[in-house]
Amino acid sequence: MKKRMNLAAVFALAVVVLFTGTSCDKEPVDLRPELPPLESLIMDFSDFATQPGAKKSSVLSYDNFVYSYLTVGFWSTSAALVSAIPVAAYTHALTQTAEYLSDNTWEWSFDFTVHSINYTATLTATRLNNEEFSVKMVISQALMSSEGILWFDGVVRYDHTAADWTFYKEGSMAVLEVEWNKDFETEEADLTYTYVEPERAETGSYIMWAYMPGEVFDAAYTVSMSEGLTQIEWNVSTIEGRVKAPGFFEDELWHCWDSYANGLADVDCE
């Protein structure tokens, strides 16, 4: 009798193992998404972060760089208001390891702090096809019962050559759309912010940053706003550059400035 009971127990255990093993959703490791770099999400404004200051006795003019600085600064400030918290969360996510849930879905869940305020973030990535996966970031203040709000979502290529993001206001209203492209062989890249919040004076305005290694002016911003189009080109090593803004300068000419080492003062364009 005891022998029969042992056989029955072994049989039951085998059935449990069989069904557990066949029903488990095994992680498809080859399709595990890797988050793209921070540069796919946030534009680099560092070359225009400081306004040149002229001495009172100086006869030099800095109008060309200063106009470019102010144009870029508008977008830098506006983007920071929308993206500061989610970018901080994304930066933290890049250091974390995702947990596989099921159905080709992975999750990064962690706490982080911004300006002494504690937050909890949940970033979810889901395979869409063999080329792309979706990403969704939900953030809530720590120790609060709220489920959090959607700060941004997007679609990323597995090979990290392109990504499209949308930042939201109050979890539902799209405010900023971001498009990123990169060629890892040539290092050419571009990133575009488009302001899409409805019924605003600058709705539809955009700034596009581009990097073109090998060119004399190897970086550029193209800025489209209500007052017109502004083109800014500069060298990332020397910061010398030029700007064309018919709405401001009232001509179709390039207006140039000198290198950072020479103070970014206005110079004649060659």
Of 83, 128, 85, residue with least CA distance to 106: 128
Rounded Cα distance between 69 and 178, Å, is 21
How many percent of the chain have pLDDT more than 90?
A: 79
pLDDT attached to residue 16: 42
Which run of H or E residues covers position 7?
helix 2-23
Q: What is the pLDDT of residues 133-182, one digit of tens each?
A: 999 999 998 766 567 899 999 999 999 999 999 999 988 999 999 999 99
How many percent of the chain have pLDDT more than 70?
A: 87
pLDDT attached to residue 147: 79
The answer to whether residue 243 scores a pLDDT higher than 90 is yes
The answer to whether residue 36 scores a pLDDT higher than 70 is yes
In three-state secondary structure terms, 9 is: helix
- Of the chain, the end-to-end C-alpha distance in Å amounts to 102
Pair 191, 209: CB distance under 8 Å: yes
Beta bridge partners of 119: 112, 141
The answer to whether residue 8 scores a pLDDT higher than 60 is no
Q: What is the pLDDT of residues 64-102, one digit of tens each?
A: 999 999 999 999 999 999 999 999 999 999 999 999 999
The answer to whether residue 260 scores a pLDDT higher than 60 is yes
pLDDT attached to residue 6: 55
pLDDT attached to residue 52: 83
**The residue type at 56:** K
Residues with Cβ within 8 Å of residue 258, at least 6 apart in sequence: 240, 264, 265, 266, 267
Q: What is the pLDDT of residues 183-228, one digit of tens each?
A: 999 999 999 999 999 999 999 999 999 999 999 999 999 999 999 9
pLDDT attached to residue 266: 97
pLDDT attached to residue 64: 97
pLDDT attached to residue 54: 59
191 phi and psi, to 5 degrees? -145, 130
Q: Tell me what the mean pLDDT of segment 216-244 comes to.
A: 97
Taking the mean position of all CA atoms in its chain, how far away is CA 139?
Answer: 16
Beta bridge partners of 190: 181, 210
Beta bridge partners of 229: 224
For residue 53, CA distances in Å to 66, 69, 71, 235, 259 come to 10, 12, 17, 20, 14
pLDDT attached to residue 22: 39
Pair 102, 24: CB distance under 8 Å: no
